[in-house]
Amino acid sequence: MIRLSIIFVFILFSVSSIAGNIDSLLQIFNKTKTEKDKVDLLFQIGKEYQKVNIDSGIYYFTKAEKIADKNNIQNRRADIIKNIGNCYQAIGNLEKALEHYLKALDISLKIDSLDKKDTLNKKLSANLYHNISLIKNFQGDNNQAIRLLYESRKLRLEINDFYGLAVFTYPSLGAIYMERGEYSKASTYFYNALDIWEKSDNKIGIADAYDYLGVISEKQNDYQRALQYYTKSLQLREKIGDEYFLSFSYNNIGVAYFHLKNYEKALEFCGKSLEIKLKTNDKLSTRNTYSNIGLIYQLQGDYELSLSYFLKTVEISEEFEDLYETTKAYINVGTTLGYLKKFESAEEYLINAFEIAKKNNYLDLLKDVTENISVVYQNTNQYEKAFNMLLLHKQISDSLFNADMIKKLTSIELNYEFEKIQATDSIRMARVAFEKEFLQNEKLNRQKIITYILIFGIIIMLIMAYLIFRTFKINQKAKQNELKSRATEIEKSLLRTQMNPHFIFNSMNSIQHFISKNDSYEAERYLSKFAKLIRFILENSSQPYVCLHDEISSLQLYLELEQLRFNYKFDFTINIDDRIDDEFIKIPPMLIQPYVENAILHGIMPKETNGRILLEVKIDEKNSVLYCNIVDDGIGREKSKELKSKNSIRHKSIGMQITNERLNFLNKESQSNIWVRIIDLENASGTRIELTIPYKDE
């Protein structure tokens, strides 16, 4: 029998899927601290992997479920377990899928018993009932499948989940009733779904409904009408680029052409369907298309090619342990082998099909296989066996006829029950709509009364708020102007201290000294350094922040020029913490230089012997702080004060005064916590200055 693509839609992905990049999600996860956020991120990572790598999806879902269970996050846990079931369903492990769906449903129903108003949980329960029902139907228990779908429908009606009814519940009920041959009920459910989709202009849903109605037309042998429905569906899917479900439309159009005996067109569209299904690794629907193509080639007399496709259907059916489909595949292979005159192999496949069909009471398949075995026995001169099989074929045909009659006689009762259910649904939906409208009107009336009472007070409050806000803005603007003015003054003062006339004059003298000695290399080298330092000072004195790399580079230039200026009176070392990325860490400019200058002028220069300066920069990443230590082995602060007091010419240093004012300003303006500590080393052997500087990481 040629196979239609009936789309049983498992709820594999939640409505609000997170399209994200796996790598970026993993990076966020590594920085996440709360357990709930970890569960959510692992769940999203699992959803991404679920589309491309089922095993990885199961791994991350399982990891998320363990954390959710440990921290009693039950609603998310139920959803995670459902998705693990989806993964197992996708690879054909229906037993494991069913196990996880039932476990998730148990958790979800317990949550519902505690909180009847949790609509998200009710939707999850409805989805789980749906998925369980489809597995039950797949296992042959369509009565249980319908009962479960009614439970799903009941929950969806409670929460007005018309989307879920249209995309899942109604199509699945229609498909199962269609399998049972109850086309009137099936059509009603498909039209219910179509009505919802047309009202919301959902083209994907409309296309699905057209496919279902086409299948029903085909079941009733109206192939031309079926082709019209399938073509409408195809046109919609092509417009929206729905490639995966295009494969179903192609397959169904191919089937319609098959029944219309246009085999070339049938092969063309079935081939298009197969090409897409092989890309998506959808084995179950691929099997159906293999079977269709095999039957077409069989009718065209190309038995070898037909056999190759039927053998593929055997392989997939056995892999999924689908006894009914395996039996059908055996019959197709056996029949084709008979056409090829390979009667021994044909008999083996047909006998296997006969045994399975007999054991499982597949009467429709027993009818086909007994007829085909009889033909094989006739061709191998086993006439008694051929006769017995024909007798059995006749008995089964009569039994099926009687079963059809019984089905027709009970159809009135079934339709009556169905109409009662439909009427109940309509009354329930009308009651829900009325109650909702009544509650909304009552709420609106209360809101009007409250609004009239509060409106005068709100106006007064708005006027007061405006006046307060206006006063605040005026004060803020004045304060900002004052801060800007003070910042400008400090920047100018800072620039003046950095552009120390003595420093510039001595640096230029040193460069002139090299020129007079014809030492052009040294002159050029130091002139270049001097120019770089001046440029840095001019460029960055007005900038709020500079990168640490530039600050350290300028300090090194400054120290090298001071070495030259004072005839290499001191050596220096700069140590930077290896963890520091100095290109991205930013600090206020020229904070460190005044302290280095102070160490040279008041610590090293009065010393009789050569000195040494150590500059260390370390990082505290947790608190975003740099620790800068400036250590000299000079004469120390006490000795320096003593020398200054003896000096008849008093030098008033404004550099440190401006620096202190600047620190106070920065701490106040940017809510920073820059602080300085000066430590006298033991035995008057120098001074240690500790600077703590918050930084920006960009």
3-state secondary structure 46-84: HHHHHHHCHHHHHHHHHHHHHHHHHCCCHHHHHHHHHHH
Q: Any bridge partners for residue 696, and if so which?
A: 586
Percent of the chain whose pLDDT exceeds 70: 79
Contact (CB, 8 A) for 11 and 125:
no
Residue 476 has pLDDT above 80, yes or no: no
Residue 15 has pLDDT above 60, yes or no: no
Confidence band, pLDDT 50/70/90 cuts, at residue 26: low
Confidence band, pLDDT 50/70/90 cuts, at residue 127: very high
Q: Which two tokens stand for residue 341?
A: 């005159």
The 8-class DSSP code of residue 652 comes to: -
Confidence band, pLDDT 50/70/90 cuts, at residue 410: very low
User: 3-state DSSP helix/strand/coil percent for the chain, to nearest 5?
Assistant: 75, 5, 20
Q: Give alpha helix (H) positions in 568-616.
A: 593-598
Residues 6+ apart with CB under 8 A from 80: 39, 43, 46, 61, 64, 65, 68
Across the range 228-249, mean pLDDT stands at: 88
d(CA 516, CA 382): 124
Confidence band, pLDDT 50/70/90 cuts, at residue 501: low
CATH of 9-177, one of 1.10.260.40, 3.40.50.2000, 1.25.40.10, 3.90.1580.10: 1.25.40.10
For the ranges 368-382, 552-566, 680-694, the one whose mean pLDDT is highest: 368-382
pLDDT confidence of residue 89: 85
**Cβ count within 10 A of residue 350:** 29
pLDDT confidence of residue 28: 65
Burial 144-182 (b: 16+ CB within 10 A, else e): ebbebbebbbebbbebebbbbbbbbbbbbbbbbbbeeeb
Largest CA distance in the chain: 139
By DSSP bridging, strand 585-587 and strand 625-632 are unpaired
Confidence band, pLDDT 50/70/90 cuts, at residue 5: very low
pLDDT confidence of residue 482: 58
Q: Which residue has the tokens 């304060």?
A: 479
d(CA 386, CA 366): 15
Residue 19 has pLDDT above 50, yes or no: no
Residues 6+ apart with CB under 8 A from 363: 396, 399, 400, 403
pLDDT in tens, 64-122: 888 888 888 777 888 888 888 888 888 888 899 999 999 989 988 888 776 777 788 88
- Integer-rounded Cα Rg, in Å, for the chain is 43
Burial 570-591 (b: 16+ CB within 10 A, else e): bebeeeeeeebebeebbbbbbb
pLDDT confidence of residue 495: 44
First to last CA, the chain: 67
pLDDT confidence of residue 33: 64
Please tell me whether residue 689 adopts helix, strand or coil conformation. Answer: strand
Least confident window among 39-43, 580-584, 651-655:
651-655
d(CA 386, CA 580): 89
pLDDT confidence of residue 49: 80
pLDDT confidence of residue 402: 54
For the chain, count helices (H), then strands (E).
Answer: 26, 8
Contact (CB, 8 A) for 75 and 121:
yes
Calculate ∠ Cα 157-159-161, nearest 5°: 70
Residue 447 has pLDDT above 60, yes or no: yes
Q: Which two tokens stand for residue 462?
A: 């708005």
Least confident window among 150-164, 527-541, 655-669:
655-669
CATH fold group of domain 499-697: Heat Shock Protein 90 (3.30.565)
d(CA 181, CA 405): 13
Q: Which residue has the tokens 């004052």?
A: 482
Across the range 6-19, mean pLDDT stands at: 39
Confidence band, pLDDT 50/70/90 cuts, at residue 650: very low
The 8-class DSSP code of residue 681 comes to: P
Residue type, 481: N
d(CA 671, CA 678): 23
**Cβ count within 10 A of residue 275:** 12
d(CA 468, CA 462): 10
Residue 439 has pLDDT above 70, yes or no: no
d(CA 483, CA 239): 61
Residues 6+ apart with CB under 8 A from 167: 9, 193, 205, 208
Burial 641-677 (b: 16+ CB within 10 A, else e): eeeeeeeeeeeeeebeebbebbbebbeeeeebebebe
pLDDT confidence of residue 121: 86
607 CB-contact burial (10 Å; exposed 0-12 / middle 13-18 / buried 19+): middle
Calculate ∠ Cα 20-21-24, nearest 5°: 115
pLDDT in tens, 135-182: 998 888 888 999 999 999 999 999 999 999 998 999 899 988 888 878
Residue 683 has pLDDT above 70, yes or no: yes
pLDDT confidence of residue 269: 93
Confidence band, pLDDT 50/70/90 cuts, at residue 262: very high
Residue 549 has pLDDT above 60, yes or no: yes
Contact (CB, 8 A) for 679 and 688:
yes
Residue 228 has pLDDT above 90, yes or no: yes
Q: Provide the angle, in degrees to the nearest 10, between the axes of the packed helices 74-90 and 54-70.
A: 160
The mean predicted confidence, pLDDT, of the chain is: 80
Across the range 198-220, mean pLDDT stands at: 87
Confidence band, pLDDT 50/70/90 cuts, at residue 11: very low
d(CA 335, CA 369): 9
Residue 9 has pLDDT above 90, yes or no: no
Q: Which residue has the tokens 């009569």?
A: 398
pLDDT confidence of residue 685: 82
Do the first three CATH levels of 9-177 and 499-697 match, i.e. the same topology? no
Structure-model confidence comparison of residues 666 and 285, the more confident one: 285
629 CB-contact burial (10 Å; exposed 0-12 / middle 13-18 / buried 19+): middle
pLDDT confidence of residue 648: 46
Residue 43: name the closest of 71, 10, 78, 9 by CA: 78
Confidence band, pLDDT 50/70/90 cuts, at residue 7: very low
d(CA 559, CA 564): 9
Contact (CB, 8 A) for 565 and 530:
no
d(CA 332, CA 349): 9
Contact (CB, 8 A) for 255 and 266:
yes
pLDDT confidence of residue 510: 65
Percent of the chain whose pLDDT exceeds 90: 28
d(CA 120, CA 127): 11
Domain ranges of the chain: 9-177, 499-697
